[in-house]
A and B are shown apart, each in its own frame.
Chain A
Amino acid sequence: MQPFDVHHFNDNTPLNTFSTAKTSRFLAGGTNLIDLMKLQVETPKTLISLAKWKSANAISQNNTHYHIGAMVSNSDLAKFAHSEPSLSVLSQALLSGATVQLRNRATTAGNLLQRTRCYYFYDTTKACNKREPGSGCTALNSMNRIHAIFGTSDKCIATHPSDMAVAMIALNAIVNTQLPDGTERKIALREFYQAPGDSPHIESVLQDGELITHVSIEKKERGTQYYHKVRDRSSYAFALVSVAAGLTIKDGRAHNVNLAFGGVGTTPWYPEKAIRVLEGAEISPEVISQAADAELATAKVFGSNDFKPLLLRRTLEKVLMEIFTHQSDHPHHEGALHGNA
């Protein structure tokens, strides 16, 4: 690990007193950044520690929105979302990610900004355009079981690993930020991430020194919700495919379709084309298959991830059919498909 300077950000320090250099990083929980620094995948010269930024630890709400502080831990957010039926899918997604130990340290903002788990991004002996722009992409022609089928480019096919972000995409969350000059921005999470294109090292629309302050989620009806994560272990593994979904059924037709996919996109994937097929449609295996077709039309496979379109299709069918059955049996149900009181 390269030596670095530490500065502490807190509620009384203006953001513009800190370095905005590209070699400077905000340190929230550290569960991803410290991991990468040990391997020298990340080599910041300055860390701006957020450990003393106490106000960012809070979750608040008004009539229309929930506001989740940047430093709220994944555990605390999961617990809160568990108690709010319209946020159930967020709780499920969070609890399917990592472990209790990691969720106790991992933060809301840090989770959104976590880096890919691509094997070659982590292995500094291998070419990786995300780690070292212009060096090449090892994943394209090597083992790429965990890699993306949506949003890929010939420079990068790495997935975004977050579960939380997938649920937040489905819930249409808004990212609130502060720029070093003190101005504030609101960015829809669906527009927050950047596909790799020719610059896979740029992953979001955040500017240098821009700090996520909180995430806002609108209060609205989301029906029966289910996050199903398919992975190589039953716990403590990243998604090969995950589906976050919530919808209501009225007169046999799907409404309020909240849907997002994990493990398949270079960004947490917002399946607009699938949603267009599903919204207002009578849910059936055939309709789900059409929705999958619509979305998968743009999918690209790379060898060892050739199974992902089929696995996504099957997972989508499982999730939507189970939600559909539940909504049909329990009209107006709001909350988790299984288990939530």
Chain B
Amino acid sequence: MATLKLNGSDVSLPDDPRTTLLDFLHQHLSLFGTKKGCDHGQCGACTVLVDGERVNACLAFAFQLEDCEVTTIEGIGQRDSLHPLQQAFIERDAFQCGYCTSGQICSGVSLLQELTNGDPSAVTYSSKASLKEDISERMSGNLCRCGAYPNIVDAITDVIAMERQ
């Protein structure tokens, strides 16, 4: 039977091939931490990790991810074992309504790895790059209508500083 690994557990793929990963999480698994903001890859609210890389869960059919490892916000950290970035989001007040937050955090967790890997971004090619602008660029796939952007950048910067210590 075709499966994918979700937050460490095998789950069977849905019968209807039209089901996206995002709708699969909601309709079949009742996992609602991953949000639907646009359903067309234009907002990033549904960001999850697939084999460690961030993707928009709304733009992948579940069947395309057979045998892949999917991590959602529920797999990032729990109430009593928060990921450092989740704690930093709270400390820096990096969210208001909270609807884009799961996607921001999944994106941020992935960003930390991308920086460690030395992956380039558009800011790598700009005339005067700063870490903050680089984070901003890399987080630009996650819209936040409450306008928490500066605090999101601060939260990520804090975790990077912590990791480098």
| Residues of A that sit less than 8 Å from B by CB | 1, 3-4, 6, 27, 29-31, 34-35, 38, 47, 49, 51, 75, 78-79, 82, 88, 91-92, 95-96, 98-102, 104-105, 227, 233-236, 336-340
Smallest CB-CB A-B distances: 7 pairs: A99-B141, A235-B140, A82-B120, A95-B122, A104-B53, A338-B127, A51-B64
- A sample of 11 cross-chain residue pairs with beta-carbon separation below 8 angstroms, ordered by A number, consists of A3-B18, A47-B17, A99-B140, A101-B107, A104-B50, A104-B54, A235-B136, A336-B125, A339-B125, A339-B126, A339-B129
- Chain B residues with Cβ below 8 Å from A99 are 44, 140-142
Of B18, B59, B114, B120, the residue contacting A35 (CB under 8 A) is B59
Given the interface pairs A3-B18, A4-B17, A34-B61, the reply to whether A101 lies near B122 with Cβ below 8 Å is no
A100 to B64, Cβ gap below 8 A? Answer: no
B100-141 near A? 1/0 per residue, CB < 8 Å: 000000010011001000011111111101000000111011
- Chain A residues with Cβ below 8 Å from B50 are 104
> Dominant SS at the B interface?
mixed
B140 to A30, Cβ gap below 8 A? Answer: no
A27 to B141, Cβ gap below 8 A? Answer: no
> Dominant SS at the A interface?
mixed
* Residues of B within 8 A of A (CB-CB), count: 41
A27 to B64, Cβ gap below 8 A? Answer: yes
Chain A CB within 8 A of B60 CB: yes
Given the interface pairs A92-B125, A340-B124, the reply to whether A35 lies near B41 with Cβ below 8 Å is yes
Given the interface pairs A104-B53, A339-B129, the reply to whether A235 lies near B44 with Cβ below 8 Å is no
Q: A75 to B107: give the CA distance in the assembly, Å.
A: 15
CB interface residues, B 31-73, toward A, < 8 Å: 39-41, 44, 47, 50, 53-56, 58-61, 63-66
Q: A278 to B37: give the CA distance in the assembly, Å.
A: 47
Chain A CB within 8 A of B20 CB: yes
Of A34, A82, A233, the residue contacting B60 (CB under 8 A) is A34
Give 11 new A-B contacts, CB below 8 A, not counting A75-B119, A79-B120: A3-B18, A29-B59, A34-B60, A51-B64, A51-B66, A100-B110, A100-B114, A104-B53, A337-B125, A338-B127, A339-B125
In the complex formed, the residue of A with least CB distance to B140 is A235
- Chain A residues with Cβ below 8 Å from B54 are 100-101, 104
- Chain A residues with Cβ below 8 Å from B141 are 98-102, 236
- Chain B residues with Cβ below 8 Å from A82 are 120, 124
Given the interface pairs A100-B114, A338-B127, the reply to whether A31 lies near B41 with Cβ below 8 Å is yes
Q: A51 to B13: give the CA distance in the assembly, Å.
A: 15
In the complex formed, the residue of A with least CB distance to B60 is A30
- How far apart are A168's CB and chain B's nearest CB, in angstroms? 17
